[in-house]
Chains A and B, each alone.
Chain A
Amino acid sequence: MSQIAAVAVMNIRSLPRRLWMSLAMVLASAVVVAILLAFLAMARGFEATMSGAGSDAVALMMREGSQAELNSVIGRDQVNLIEEAPGIARDADGPLVSPELYVIVDGIKKGTGGKANIPLRGLDARGMAMRGNMQLLEGRMFTPGTNEMIVGAGILREFDGFQLGNEIRFGKNVWTVVGVFSTGGNVFESELWADAKMIQSHYNRGSSYQTIRAQLENPGNLEPLKAYIDAEPQLNLELKTESAYFAEQGKQLQYMAIFGRVISFIMALGALAGALNTMYTSVADRAKEIATLRALGFGNFSAFCGTIAEALVLAAAGGLLGSLAAFVFFDGLNASTLGGSFTQVVFSFDMSPDLFVQGAVLALLIGFLSGFFPAWRAARMPVIVAFRNGA
């Protein structure tokens, strides 16, 4: 054991001498780890934003085949029928049903200054109550029947001109921002909220809506509502829990995570090739040292472990560097992209601790693989040959 330690220490001490090759190995490992973590942090952040939005206790109804809130149309008569439906929670004012509108408007993005789609949602106090974690950060609620709106915190972060008190023109209509709200970081924060009735009149929607949300009597239990809708020919509605809907929408960025893993895997192969080159060169460089040790009576195994230890130390250093770089550059990075409803979803890269573990595992894997074969060669090199080549 002390043999192995002695060889390992000797190898690692001589690293600075082979500075460039050592640095190359560190860099290779750092880049692969940083890329993997960047993609994972992005996917993690998007997923959290989408899945955090859905509640099991809320049923979401859209016109069948419409797939996203944007495409759906629901008449007032249908809303009336749903308000009579079983399985929906009620309070003193009646059933907890929220018919909503979903209109897309242009916002000016900070940074690029380009136009991007943001959703303007029309709803009422009941609808807001269904977003359990909704809270006003600044200002006050909009007054029904006026051109007032409240804006999500995500919109404020990524778009220009939505500060409290600002007047905003969408076409002919002017709206006033009277409040800023948070829903705990989920996708609703990427929205503007205003009175549904005002939106109906400004956007020629008559008395129609686009979606209906309903608080379920028993969370997750859609059965009574589903039976009711199936039995009523006027209700050509698709029914799912809100959490199921957003889970589907969140899947859209799963391709990012897959893409990221594929790219980092391929990159890792390339970097592994570079790292292997480094280690082979390093072993060739030290052929004479290794042979000397072997001649002095050090075993094959200690030569083997010494080389592996060197590779692991370099790769781990790279992994640490890559993780740090990823953390500094990506953690909390605000990003936005086109979500399922054709509108911008604002989210943050989320570099959670378990990602660091994945990065470390990858770095050590690179270190082990790039050390193993050269170490094997170092251990098996006949002493005489090593001396001759070293001369």
Chain B
Amino acid sequence: MSDLYLIYKNMTRKPLRLFLTCFAIFIAFLIYGAVTTLKSALDAGIDLAADNRLVVVNKINFTQPLPIAYAQKVAAVEGVEHVTYANWFGGYYQEARNQIVAMAVEPESLLQVYEREIVLPLEQRAAWLGNRQGLIAGKNLAQRLGWKVGDRVPVSSNIFSHKEGGHTWDFVVEGIFTGSDPQHDTNSMYFHYKYFMETQSFGGDWIGWITLTTVDPAQNQRIADEIDNGFANSQAETDTSTEAAFSKAFIEQIGNIGLIIFGVVFMAFFTILILVGNTMALAVRERTGEIAVLKTLGFAAPRIFKMVLTESLLIALIGGLAGLGAAWLIVEGAKATMAQFLPNLVLDSGIALQALAFMLLLGLVTGLLPALNALRLNIVTAFNRG
């Protein structure tokens, strides 16, 4: 027998209560894990944004087009490293429900600007650059649609029309890319802007937006101002912002709904913790008499303090880790089906560590007060009370 055995026996003396307490903690951390992952997936664009990347969009709104000639003018601004541009294709595969994030791009510069996000084997890279009808697809997208390198695939647009009629373009899958970070989005596909321009029925020389890298993040503001001032009073004024700011603005479009939901859920999380803490503290208080006996037998106060604290920490960790584990399973399970909407669904170590910190906090807060009481417990008064 050891102190650990005593702790174990104390914990399990009322198995039903232990189970209910652990279950409530389990639920709290299940929800915490799942919802925080969801939130982090939504915010991933901001967190993953490169600090030296700027996005140039039409000042009216980012859904308004820019003339393609702007790309060259932007490249001429001092301090700009690489420039690429893209057009939103509004793609879908076979059925309109089956939407794809598809963009018409300038390939070479795309791979320069997104060298961390789009990692492609060398021979696939060469093949894609060499084939105007080629596309590259992210790993998740290729998995979802069952595409393999060399496949000929039709991709349709809900915006553009092919000049030969219909809305469907034929492509050859030339490469499948991955990201250098697990949260990098691999649910998209890219194809040659030139091919798009030659084959579409209208809107030829327009692009959706320009992305550029700067030589030094410290110069971002100056470069952004220079670009916007250069196009002031032209037919399409521009708005240049850092990638992070652009992503943030885009996320904020989801509106205060997100804020309200997360607010409500976190409130609930903390309420459950308070409820559980109350029960756990009461459970220790019930044992005042036994603690007095232990002290009388000669158990030193600090030793009892440690035992009480360990017990509440153990309960918090058992329930919490199980809940976090369940959240991980759910996230992993939902990943495939949710990939289309939320590509960055990852319960990463940051979230896990945060949850762990909350578990320790729960264990400490609920255990500390009873443990302190036990530490200070006066045997004489304890016996008189009992």
User: A: which residues have CB within 8 A of B?
Assistant: 20-21, 24, 27-28, 31-32, 34-35, 38-39, 42, 64-68, 70-71, 73, 103-106, 109, 111-112, 114-117, 170-172, 203, 256, 259, 263, 266-267, 269-271, 273-274, 276-278, 280-281, 330, 333, 335-338, 342, 344
Contacts and interface: CB of A to CB of B under 8 A. Distances in A.
A65 B282 contact: no
A6 to B, nearest CB: 28
B279 A270 contact: no
A104 B17 contact: no
A52 to B, nearest CB: 19
9 contacts: A32-B268, A39-B261, A39-B264, A64-B167, A273-B24, A280-B20, A281-B17, A281-B282, A338-B253
B60 A35 contact: no
A172 B233 contact: yes
B255 A274 contact: no
B61 A106 contact: yes
B272 interface: yes
B27 interface: yes
Contact of B158 (A67, A116, A269): A67
Interface string B156-174: 1111010000010000000
A104 B61 contact: yes
A70 B90 CA distance: 11
Nearest to A112: B252
Interface in B231-274: 233, 235-237, 248-249, 252-258, 260-261, 264-265, 267-268, 271-272, 274
A64 to B, nearest CB: 8
A102 B161 CA distance: 19
A42 B64 contact: no
B335 interface: no
Nearest to A206: B202
B278 interface: yes
A276 B268 CA distance: 18
Given A42-B260, A104-B61, A276 B274 contact: no
Given A21-B282, A117-B253, A271 B17 contact: no
Interface in B90-147: 90, 92, 96
A277 B17 contact: yes
B223 interface: no
Contacts of B35: 263
B255 A172 contact: no
A270 B24 contact: yes
A38 B254 CA distance: 17
A172 B27 contact: no
Contacts of A105: 60-61
B61 A65 contact: no
A335 B256 contact: yes
Given A66-B159, A114-B249, A274 B254 contact: no
Contacts of A278: 279
B101 to A, nearest CB: 14
A203 B96 contact: no
Contact of A171 (B28, B237, B275): B237
A334 B60 CA distance: 25
A184 B58 CA distance: 33
Contacts of B61: 103-106, 117
Nearest to B157: A65
Nearest to A374: B16
B27 A24 contact: no
B21 interface: yes
A335 B258 CA distance: 10
B18 to A, nearest CB: 10
A171 B62 CA distance: 12
B157 to A, nearest CB: 8
B249 A115 contact: yes
A69 to B, nearest CB: 11
Contact of A71 (B159, B261, B275): B159
B23 A338 contact: no
Q: Of residues B27, B233, B235, B271, which shows the largest number of chain A Cβ atoms within 10 Å of its Cβ?
A: B271
Contact of A270 (B159, B235, B272): B272
Contacts of A171: 58-60, 64, 236-237
Contacts of B253: 116-117, 337-338, 344
Interface in B8-34: 16-17, 20-21, 23-24, 26-28, 30-31
B276 interface: yes
B142 to A, nearest CB: 23
A28 B256 contact: no
A196 to B, nearest CB: 17
A309 B156 CA distance: 63
B272 A333 contact: no
Nearest to B246: A115
B64 A203 contact: yes
B63 interface: yes
Contacts of B233: 172
A338 to B, nearest CB: 5
A390 to B, nearest CB: 13
B27 A27 contact: no
Nearest to B269: A267
Contacts of A104: 61, 63-64
Q: Of residues B20, B28, B61, B272, which shows the largest number of chain A Cβ atoms within 10 Å of its Cβ?
A: B61
Contacts of B158: 65-68, 71
Given A171-B58, A267-B268, A336-B257, A114 B252 contact: yes
Contacts of A73: 159, 161, 202
A359 to B, nearest CB: 14
A27 B274 contact: yes
A39 B262 CA distance: 11
A172 B235 contact: yes
A170 B60 contact: yes
Contact of B90 (A31, A38, A71): A71
Contacts of A330: 260
A252 to B, nearest CB: 11
Contacts of A335: 255-257, 260
Contacts of A31: 267-268, 271-272
A115 B247 CA distance: 11
B254 A270 contact: no
B20 A273 contact: yes
B264 A38 contact: yes
A86 to B, nearest CB: 26
A274 B253 CA distance: 37
Contacts of B31: 263, 266-267, 270
B179 to A, nearest CB: 25
Contact of B252 (A64, A109, A274): A109
A20 B282 contact: yes
